Amino acid sequence: MLVKTMAKANIPAKGAIVQRDLETFSIAPHIPGGFVEPALLRKIADVAEKYGAKFVKLTGTQRMIIVGIQEEDLDAAWAEFEDSSKAIGLTIRSIQMCPSTRSCKRAKQDSPGLGFALDKEFYGKPAPAKFKMAVSGCPNCCSDPWMRDLGFVGTDDGFTAVVGGKGGGTAKVGRELAKGLTEEQALALARKVIAFYRENGQAPERLGATIERVGFDKFKEAVL
């Protein structure tokens, strides 16, 4: 039973996670920033019905997860989606973002503009451990950037970058790294932060733990 449990605990190549019954799996189609077209909503519903899913769940990471897929149906279920990119395990996860200038009256900066650029360049790429990012269009921080490995907060002067945050059982608030960034500067900084983490991170530590181990001043000097 233990061998079976370990074998089914995670199937990264298939982008699936085993469920409580140790028999069925969940998949989460890529929905950048939670902005979803009606056609994709229909597709998710169709796939859930076609492969006998137990339910579809809205997640805290702005995705919709289809729960209860049989292992033998995983490849076929993924093939139903035009974008079948997967990000589980030791990867850069979905980039959370608020609607910001697309609709919100409080927006200071275009968080989806930066968020989509981050998603396009980094989503699903390898990392020493899971790596989460978020972008908020104003200091209200609806997408929780302070609780992510790398976050950006929109202000009147541009984006403020924060690093080292995380949620979970040992939650930690990030710390400020840079202020007044343009979208291009924020994207360039993300490249440097991720490169530093890939070079210095030691699994399973998250970025915040890597920064603590090497020292914030050394980290800041390297990325700025």
Q: How confident is the model at residue 141 (pLDDT cuts 50, 70, 90)?
A: very high
pLDDT at 73: 96
pLDDT at 12: 57
Using omega within 30 degrees of 0 as the cis cutoff, is the peptide bond preceding 128 cis?
no
Q: Which residue has the higher pLDDT, 1 or 36?
A: 36
- What's the DSSP call for residue 91? B
- Computed over every residue of the chain, the mean pLDDT equals 93
Model confidence over 146-166: pLDDT tens digits? Answer: 999 999 999 999 999 999 999
pLDDT exceeds cutoff 90 at 143: yes
Q: Is 69 helix (H, G, I), strand (E, B) or coil?
A: strand
Q: What are phi and psi of 217, to 5 degrees?
A: -65, -40
Model confidence over 104-140: pLDDT tens digits? Answer: 999 999 999 999 999 999 999 999 999 999 999 999 9
Model confidence over 17-57: pLDDT tens digits? Answer: 999 999 999 999 999 999 999 999 999 999 999 999 999 99
Among 64-68, 84-88, 96-100, the minimum mean pLDDT is found in 84-88
Q: How far is CA 139 from CA 94, 111, 161, in A?
A: 21, 12, 12
pLDDT at 3: 41
Residue-range domains of the chain with CATH: 2-79 (3.90.480.10), 92-223 (3.30.413.10)
pLDDT exceeds cutoff 80 at 1: no
pLDDT at 7: 47
pLDDT exceeds cutoff 60 at 2: no
List the 64-70 sheet strands across, edge first: 10-11, 16-18, 24-27, 64-70, 55-58
